[in-house]
Amino acid sequence: MSFLSKKSVLEEFEKAKASKTKEWRDNLPTWCPGCGHFTGLHGLYEAAETLKIPPKDFVVVSGIGCSGRFPFFIKGFGLHGLHGRAIPIATGIKVASPDLTVVVVGGDGDGVGIGGGHFPHAARSNFNLTYILLDNSIYGLTKGQISPTSPMGMKSGTSPYGNIARPINPTTLALAYGATFVARTFSRERDMVSELITKAIQHKGFSFIHDLSPCVVFNKDVTYNSLNSVTATLPDDHDVFDRSRAMALAESTDPIYQGLFFREEIPSFDDHVQKVKDGLNQPA
Amino acid sequence: MKYSEIKIRFCGIAGDGIVASGKILAGACANIGLHVMVNNIYSAEIRGLGKSSATIRFSTSKLYSMGDGLDLLVGMVSKESIIDLRDVKVGGNVIYDISTVGDVAEEDSLVSHITPEIQGHGLPLKKLANEATGTNQGKNLVAIGAISYFYSLPPDMFIDQIKSVFAHKGEHIIDVNINAFRLGYEYFREHYPLNNQFEIDKSSEPRALTSGNDAIAKGAIDCGLKFFAGYPITPATKIMEIAAKELPKLGGWTLQMEDEIAAIGAVLGAWFAGKRAMTATSGPGLSLMSEMINLSVMSEIPTIIVNVQRGGPSTGLPTKVEQGDLNIALYGGAGDSPRVVMAPSNSEECYSGIQLAFDIAEKYQTPVIFLSDLFLGQRIETVTIKENIARNRCTRKKPTSEQLEDFLRYQITDDGVSPMIVPGEPGAVYSTTGLEHSVTGNPNYESDVHSMMTAKRFRKFESMVADLPHANILGDETAEIGIAGWGSTIGSILEGMDIAKKKGVKTKLIKSIMIHPQREDLFREFFASCKKIIVPEMNYQGQYAALLKSRYGIKPIEVHIPAVEPVSPLKIAQKIMETNSELSK
C-alpha cells in the first residue's frame, strides 16, 4: 500500500486532529499535498507540546526554500531570513538570549549548498541549537533543479544531461563537524520524527536532524517509493556514543539507516561562556 | 630655531620598533599637555620585505590633520628611507645611521641622497643600540634620545614614558632602553650642540590619546553594546578585539564568525532578541553584507555596521586609506533599500557618533552604516571625549496592552515606526521575513501592500530628520567659497582653510556626521550662500559630490583624490587659491 493511498492519508488526518498541538499551530501550511515537510512540522508541534515550550520562548529560524516557511506555521517567534543564513541568525538570537528555545529549519540547498559554510562552525561551537535539515534532494521552490544531495545522473532543468557531481551526505557531515547529537529520520515515520525532534531539543548542545523529506512534485528520482525500499532503522545494538561506528553506518546507502546515530554529552557553548563570565566576576 | 609644532617620521622595516617609537614620542608629548597626532603606515606583510613608518605631529595648538612636510626624518634603515626624503620640508632635518653607511652601495645609501636644502645628521644608531642593549634592538630609543636633545624636549618626559611602555617587560628591558635613550641624547649633545627650542607650556594638563577604532568600541560599549560578531579584517579588527575583551565583563559576548555574512547575521539575530549588537568590517566585508542589510531593511530589525574603509576595490589596498565605500554604503543592495549612513570626522565623533547610531537604529528599526576609514581608525590623537555612560537611551517602540491583543508587527503608523516586541516577553508572538509582508508579518505580494510598506519604510527617514544633529558650519560666514566634506578629510580641509586664510582668502565649511538622511534645509541654505562650492574627498569618482549634486542640484568643483595617504592640507589650500582667483576674474 502506498504511503499516499487514500486510507493512509485519512488515517494520518484523523491522528493529526486528535493531537494536542493546536496551541502551536498558526497559519495553514502552503506546501503541496503529500510533501514530506508536513511530518517535520508536526514533529515540531509535538516536541513543543511534549516539552511544554511556551510560544513566547519558542523561536524558529529558517532560510529560503519550501522548508523556509516553517516560521509562519508555528505559533512562536519566527524569523524567515536569507537563503542559507538561518544558522548565523539563530546563533545571534541564542547567544543574546540563552533562555529561548531556538530551532533552525532549512532545506538541502539552504544548508549544504549556499549556506554550507555555516553548518560546521555551529556544530563545532556546540551552540545550544537544534538544526532540522529537510532533505528533498531538489530545489523545489524554483521548480525542480538538482541540489547538493541529488544523486549522480539525476536529470533536471539545470542538468539536462544528468548530474555529474556526487551527492553530499548531511549526516556524515554533521558527524565530521563535531555535532553532539546526530539523527536521521524519514518523513514517512511520523512518530520517529516527533520523538527525535523532541530529544534533539532536549539535548544540551548542537543537535542535528537530517530528515529525508521527499518532494512529491518535482523529484522523480528520490521518492517515497525509492526511499521505502532502502531505508531501515539502525541496528538495535548500535552504541550512540561511538562516533566512528556512527560514521560507518551513516555512510551506508543501502540500507539508508534512520534513528539516533550519535550523542555526546560535553559542555555546550553556553556552559563555556558561563565559565568565562564566572571567572571574570570573581573578586581579584 | 624656535618651534611650536613639529612633525617627525621614523622610517624602518617591520620589526624595527617603529610603532613603539611613535607610541613613546606621542605618549611623552601628550603627558606634558601637547596636542598629538600619530599615523602609522605599514605594508600588508607582517615581517621581512615590509617597510613601516610612524609619523608623529605634535603642537601647542589643536591639530586636525597630519599636515604636510616633515621637520625631521629618522632613517632607521637606509635604502627604504630614501623615498621619504621628498616629504622633508626645505630647511628640515634628517637623521641617518652613520654606523652602517659603508654597508650599502652608494645609490642605496640615504646620506648620499640628502640634498643641500636639507640638513643631515649622522647618528650611530646600530652601534649605540648594541652598546646599550647588546642587540640590534633599541635603535628607536637612541633616535628618541637624540630628538630629545635636538628639540630641547626634557629627557624626563621620555624616561617616564619608557618606564610605562615597557613596564610589562620587566626592569632589565626598561634599564637597557633608558640607556639607549641616554646614549642618543649624549651623542647629539656632543656632536650637534647647537640645538632648537620647542615651546612648552609647563602648566598644561596631560591629554588622553585614542584611536578612532578605540573610540568607536568604547562609545558602543558605553551605550549598551551587549553583543558583537565579526570577522577579522584590516583595518577594523581592533574594534572586535576590544569588544572580545570587554563585553564578557559586562554580561555580553563577542563571537568570531566564519565570515562577514555570518557576522552580520548573528548581529541581526541579537537585535531581534532585544540586545544592542554591532559588527565592524572594511570594504570587502561590507560587500558580503549587502544581502543581510537588505533583510534588515525589509524585516525592520535594527543593525549597526561599522565600516573602516581601506583602499579598494576588491582586496585592494588593505593598509592604505580611501573613502571609496560611500556608494556601496548608500546604495549597495537590491530593491528600494533605505539605510542610514553616518561618517565621523575625528575620534571625538567616533565616540559620540556611534552612540547616536545606536539610538537611531533602535528607535527607527533600521540598518546604520557607520563609515570610518583607515586613517581615522588607526591614527592616534589627543582628544577630549565627554564620557557619556549613563545617557538616556532611546528604546524601541513597544506595543500598548491594547495593541498586544491583536499584535501587528508592521502596523502602519504616521512616523513609519511600528511596535516591536522581544522573544521571551509575554503578550504576543510574531514572525518576520525578508519577503514583502502585510501588517501582521505574513508574506504578501499584492501591489497595494508593497506600495504601502515601501512608503512606510521610507517614511521613517522623514520622521528621523527631527532627531538628527545640526550640520556644522565652520570658517567665515561671509565667505563666498564654500566647502563640503565628509569623514576624515574634514581635518585636512580645516587646515587647508587655515592656510588660505593666512593668505587672505576666506572660506566656510559645512560638515555633518549624517550623510543620509541629512538636514537638507541647512545644506540648501549653505549652498545658496556660496558663489563657488568645493567638494574634496579621497576617491576617484567623487562619490559624495555625486550625492550632493543629485540631492541639491549644485555644480561643485570636485577634488578627487584616490588616496593612499591622508589628504594634504596644502593641496586643499591650493584648490581654494585657484578657486579664489577664478572668482576675482
- Which tens digit of pLDDT belongs to each residue from B492-517? 999 999 999 999 999 999 999 999 99
CA–CA min distance B445, chain A (Å) = 15
Count of structural domains, chain A: 1
Residue A123 falls within a domain, yes or no?
Answer: yes
- DSSP string of B219-282, one letter each residue: HHHHTT--EEEE---TTTHHHHHHHHHHGGGGT-EEEE-SSHHHHHHHHHHHHHTT--EEEEE-
CA–CA min distance A85, chain B (Å) = 7
Residue A172 falls within a domain, yes or no?
Answer: yes
Q: How far apart are CA A190 and CA A183, in angstroms?
A: 14
Mind listing the pLDDT tens digit of every residue in chain B (585 residues)? 889 999 999 999 877 889 899 999 999 999 999 999 999 887 766 555 678 899 999 999 999 999 999 999 999 988 889 999 999 999 999 999 999 888 889 899 999 999 999 999 999 999 999 999 998 889 999 999 999 999 999 999 999 999 999 999 999 999 999 999 999 999 999 999 988 999 887 778 899 999 999 999 999 999 999 999 999 999 999 999 999 999 999 999 999 999 999 999 999 999 999 999 999 999 999 999 999 999 999 999 999 999 999 999 999 999 999 999 999 999 999 999 999 999 999 999 999 999 999 999 999 999 999 999 999 999 999 998 777 665 556 778 899 999 999 999 999 999 999 999 999 999 999 999 999 999 999 999 999 999 999 999 999 999 999 889 989 999 999 999 999 999 999 999 999 999 999 999 999 999 999 999 999 999 999 999 999 999 999 999 999 999 999 999 999 999 999 888 899 999 999 999 999 999 988
Residue A93 falls within a domain, yes or no?
Answer: yes
CA–CA min distance A214, chain B (Å) = 25
Nearest to A261 by CA among A239, A276, A228: A239
Q: What is the pLDDT of residue B200?
A: 84
**Ramachandran area for residue B251 (φ above 0: left; ψ -120 to 50: alpha; else beta):** left
Residue B389 falls within a domain, yes or no?
Answer: no
Domain boundary among the residues B173, B206, B239 is at B206
How far is residue A183 CA from its own chain's centroid? 9
Residue B314 falls within a domain, yes or no?
Answer: yes
Q: What is the pLDDT of residue A1?
A: 40
Can you read off the three cell numbers belonging to residue B519? 538636514
Domain match, B251 and B323 both: yes
Residue A77 to residue B431, Cβ atoms within 8 A: yes
Domain match, B360 and B339 both: yes
Domain boundary among the residues B451, B466, B481 is at B466
Maximum CA pair distance of chain B?
86
Domain match, B421 and B518 both: no
Residue A75 to residue B272, Cβ atoms within 8 A: no
CATH number at residue B71: 3.40.920.10
Is B257 in the A-facing interface, judged by CB distances under 8 Å?
yes
Domain match, B121 and B188 both: yes
Give the number of beta-carbon pairs within 8 Å between A and B: 138
Nearest to A179 by CA among A89, A262, A92, A275: A262
Residue B312 falls within a domain, yes or no?
Answer: yes
Which residues in B291-311 are b (16+ Cβ under 10 Å) and which e? bbbbbbbbbbbbbbbbbbbbb
Is B424 in the A-facing interface, judged by CB distances under 8 Å?
yes
Residues of chain B with Cβ-Cβ distance to A118 below 8 Å are 258, 262
Domain match, B145 and B292 both: no
Domain match, B172 and B25 both: yes
Residue A170 falls within a domain, yes or no?
Answer: yes
Residue B388 falls within a domain, yes or no?
Answer: no
**What pairing do the DSSP bridges indicate for beta strands B2-3 and A256-263?**
unpaired
How many residues appear in chain B?
Answer: 585
Can you read off the three cell numbers belonging to residue B245? 575583551
The answer to whether B419 and B76 are in contact (CB under 8 A) is no
* ipTM for this model: 0.94
Q: Which residue has the cell 532503522?
A: A233
Domain that holds residue A39: 6-281
CATH number at residue B491: 3.40.50.920
Count of structural domains, chain B: 4
Residue A1 falls within a domain, yes or no?
Answer: no
How far the first Cα of chain A sits from its last, in Å, is 71
Residue A231 falls within a domain, yes or no?
Answer: yes
The answer to whether A3 and A51 are in contact (CB under 8 A) is no
Other CB atoms within a 10 A radius of the CB of residue B541 amount to 14
Residues of chain A with Cβ-Cβ distance to B335 below 8 Å are none
Residues of chain A with Cβ-Cβ distance to B431 below 8 Å are 26, 60, 71-72, 74, 77-80
Domain match, B278 and B202 both: no
Residue B104 falls within a domain, yes or no?
Answer: yes
Which of B266, B426, B431 minimises the CB distance to A89?
B266
Q: Which residue has the cell 540500507?
A: A255
Write out pLDDT tens, residues B289-339.
999 999 999 999 999 999 999 999 999 999 999 999 999 999 999 999 999
Domain match, B169 and B281 both: no
CATH number at residue A92: 3.40.50.970
> Helices H, strands E: what count in chain B?
18, 23
Spatial neighbors of B484 by CB under 8 A, at least 6 apart, are B509, B510, B511, B523, B526, B527, B533, B534, B535, B544, B548, B556
Domain match, B78 and B183 both: yes
**What pairing do the DSSP bridges indicate for beta strands B227-230 and A130-135?**
unpaired
Domain match, B536 and B524 both: yes
- Virtual CA dihedral for B338, B298, B261, A31, nearest 10 degrees? -160
The residue ranges of DSSP E strands in B124-241, in sequence order, are 197-198, 208-211, 227-230
Spatial neighbors of B64 by CB under 8 A, at least 6 apart, are B346, B490, B491, B492, B494, B495
Domain match, B174 and B70 both: yes
Is B247 in the A-facing interface, judged by CB distances under 8 Å?
no
Domain that holds residue B423: 401-466
The residue ranges of DSSP E strands in B14-110, in sequence order, are 35-42, 51-59, 70-75, 88-97
Q: At residue B383, what are phi and psi to the nearest 5 degrees?
A: -140, 160
Residues of chain A with Cβ-Cβ distance to B427 below 8 Å are 56
Residues of chain A with Cβ-Cβ distance to B334 below 8 Å are none
Domain match, B72 and B136 both: yes
Nearest to A120 by CA among A157, A49, A175: A175
Residue B395 falls within a domain, yes or no?
Answer: no
Residue B262 to residue A55, Cβ atoms within 8 A: no
What's the rounded mean pLDDT across residues A251-272? 97
Residue B396 falls within a domain, yes or no?
Answer: no
Domain boundary among the residues B383, B411, B442 is at B383
How deeply is B371 buried, as exposed, middle or buried, from its count of CB atoms within 10 A (0-12, 13-18, 19+)? Answer: buried
Residue B201 falls within a domain, yes or no?
Answer: yes
